[in-house]
Amino acid sequence: MRYFLLDRITELVLGERARGIKCVTLTDPTLHDHFPDHPILPGVLAVEAAAQLAGFLIEISEERAEPLSDPRRALLAKIDRTKFYRPAEPGDRIELLATLDRSLEGAARVDVEASIDGERSMRGQLTFMMRSIASDRVHEQRRALYRLWTKGLDLPVPIP
């Protein structure tokens, strides 16, 4: 993954919801082209930040009788009913919320919201497929990223 857009996970209620933050800075290269005299975070990147939080929620909440050698990973399959209300600018702290709507054996649906200074900036619904991925490199990268995102957070289960 080229873009790691979530900076920190601040809350986790297993099987229900997760909260996180994304800080928008002028050092982000995408802001220099979008737009040169009026930099804003592209809406698709706000959705991606929410998808990263939602994927974490789904993966860590997945119940397993025993750990799999190749853990299943959440792959974004559908973006639905997404609306943008306020663009994010350099200096903004985007507060993200992912709420598990439905979880089935091979898929999950998550409602996502983003706000800036208490004002809604985005909301939508994301659907994920769960797939086993036979790649130690993928799993090592995901675990390292999850450890960074959850630093200081007491997790109720081990990172998959």
Q: Looking at the annotation, which residues are catalytic?
A: 34
The Cα–Cα gap between 73 and 133 comes to 7
CA distance between the termini of the chain: 18
**Residues 6 or more apart from 6 whose CB is under 8 A from it?**
20, 21, 22, 49, 52, 53, 56, 96, 149
